[in-house]
């Protein structure tokens, strides 16, 4: 019981009684004839680190700007903490945004940048100074207080932008590609820092990113967007392990897709017949009519070498190694199983590479278990 309560407070979206903190209700935004955001509904809970993930032009930034009040939706409503903010201008919203370009005011020092928002709400001077000091401290940029933005490095600017957007203690912080302008190494470190910071201050974060790895590492939940619509909303694990369509499966990580049709149901498993000849037995809780066309999706790391290959067994397949990509910790093998299909298999390099048996042109047998993939209805 105690565990159940704990889980509910950590995952409020599992709790039917939980009140969403941010509610997006059927929001549509048209630019001329183009639907940038197309009938999107979302509920985000207090303290979440929520990511909007999608390729460029999918409408994720427009949705973020609608939340900030920088764009107004063509239809639909936005609620934050129970209040309808749809028609509020940006300067009256309890929301702050960190811009992709950081948008630091070039004619002000770091300190003045952080102080700007506090001055707008006419906070007394004493309190203001304390808050600025608190923010500079929180992001460890105290020694930069007198510098101007052009005297800062990319990483430092990012911190100043974050300090400025957090200074007013917003109910909701929006981050547009928060790590997009940083180089790779710095980005990885900053990911963890950002998550730690968010956990410490407890503010609800909504970020926009096109980097799936970033979204996976940082978010409590994420929404995958395509062409202005939300395709799937789930935890990183849910999105990765149980994608609900081919688009999501392919967008996050790599995946092997086998087209086929359902020929038999056996409890919560189905038997799928594919052109590759051998049937596949996969777990499939959702009801699917016999004969309906489906796609079986299996992640490369779920594919393993098969010790005992039998002609009549399910979920086994044979092919020739065509390509090997050695990445150090793992190797990726491209195995041709039919003229039109390659199966990707990732194996941990337990042995040094020189002692590995697999080589180009070699015949290998592979298998996977019925629970290590999903069946996607077409």
Contacting positions for another protein (CB under 8 A): 68-70, 89-92, 95-97, 99-101, 103, 105-107, 116-117, 120-121, 148-157, 164-165, 168, 183, 186
**Which of 70, 314 has the CB closer to another protein?**
70
**Which of 80, 97 has the CB closer to another protein?**
97
CB of 117 to another protein, least distance (A): 3
CB of 170 to another protein, least distance (A): 9
Pick from 273, 335, 281: nearest CA to 305: 335
CB of 194 to another protein, least distance (A): 17
By the 8 A CB rule, do 157 and 186 touch?
Answer: no
CB of 70 to another protein, least distance (A): 5
Q: What is the DSSP letter of 277?
A: S
By the 8 A CB rule, do 36 and 228 touch?
Answer: yes
**Which of 156, 217 has the CB closer to another protein?**
156
**Which of 173, 374 has the CB closer to another protein?**
173
**Which of 101, 362 has the CB closer to another protein?**
101
Angle at 163 between CA 125 and CA 37, to 5 degrees: 120
**Which of 68, 223 has the CB closer to another protein?**
68
CB of 43 to another protein, least distance (A): 23
Q: In what order do the strands lie in the sheet with 304-305?
A: 304-305, 363-367, 316-326, 330-338, 341-348
**Which of 9, 101 has the CB closer to another protein?**
101
**Which of 78, 303 has the CB closer to another protein?**
78
CA distance 374 to 241: 8
CB of 149 to another protein, least distance (A): 8
CB of 108 to another protein, least distance (A): 9
CA distance 160 to 117: 13
CA distance 377 to 169: 45
Half-sphere exposure at residue 229, Cβ-oriented, CA atoms within 13 angstroms: 6
**Which of 37, 270 has the CB closer to another protein?**
37
In the chain, the DSSP E strands lie at 22-31, 34-44, 49-53, 75-80, 83-84, 95-98, 172-176, 204-209, 221-226, 229-234, 256-266, 269-273, 280-283, 293-298, 304-305, 316-326, 330-338, 341-348, 363-367, 373-377
294 phi, psi to nearest 5 deg: -140, 170
Sign of CA dihedral 268, 313, 308, 333: negative
CB of 173 to another protein, least distance (A): 11
CA distance 257 to 264: 19
65 phi, psi to nearest 5 deg: -70, -30
CB of 121 to another protein, least distance (A): 6
């Amino acid at each position: 019981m105690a565990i159940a309560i704990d889980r509910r407070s950590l995952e409020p979206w599992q709790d039917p009684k939980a009140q969403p903190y941010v509610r997006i209700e059927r929001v549509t935004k048209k630019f001329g004839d183009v639907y940038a955001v197309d009938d999107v509904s979302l509920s985000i809970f207090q303290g979440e680190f929520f990511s909007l993930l999608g390729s460029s032009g999918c409408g994720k930034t427009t949705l973020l700007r609608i939340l900030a009040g920088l764009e107004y939706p063509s239809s639909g409503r936005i609620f934050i903490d129970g209040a309808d903010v749809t028609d509020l201008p940006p300067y009256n919203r309890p929301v702050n945004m960190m811009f992709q370009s950081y948008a630091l005011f070039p004619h002000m020092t770091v300190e003045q940048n952080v102080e700007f928002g506090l001055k707008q709400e006419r906070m007394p001077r004493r309190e203001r100074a304390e808050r600025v000091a608190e923010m500079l401290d929180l992001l460890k940029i105290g020694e930069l207080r007198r510098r101007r933005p052009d005297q800062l490095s990319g990483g430092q600017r990012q911190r100043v932008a974050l300090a400025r957007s957090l200074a007013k203690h917003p109910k909701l912080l929006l981050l547009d590609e928060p790590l997009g302008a940083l180089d790779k190494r710095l980005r990885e470190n900053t990911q963890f820092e950002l998550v730690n910071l968010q956990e410490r201050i407890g503010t609800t974060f909504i970020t926009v990113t096109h980097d799936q790895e970033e979204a996976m590492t940082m978010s409590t939940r994420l929404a995958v967007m395509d062409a202005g619509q939300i395709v799937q909303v789930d935890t990183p694990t849910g999105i990765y392990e149980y994608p609900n369509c081919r688009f999501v499966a392919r967008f996050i990580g790599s995946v092997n897709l086998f087209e086929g049709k359902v020929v038999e149901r056996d409890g919560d498993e189905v038997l799928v017949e594919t052109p590759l000849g051998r049937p596949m037995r996969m777990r499939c809780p959702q009801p699917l009519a016999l004969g309906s066309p489906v796609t079986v999706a299996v992640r490369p790391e779920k594919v393993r070498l098969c010790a005992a290959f039998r002609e009549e067994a399910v979920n086994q397949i044979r092919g020739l190694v065509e390509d090997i990509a050695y990445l150090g910790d793992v190797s990726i093998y491209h195995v041709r199983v039919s003229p039109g299909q390659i199966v990707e298999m990732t194996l941990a390099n337990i042995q040094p590479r020189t002692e590995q048996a697999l080589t180009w042109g070699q015949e290998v047998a592979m298998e996977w278990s019925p629970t290590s993939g999903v069946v996607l209805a077409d």
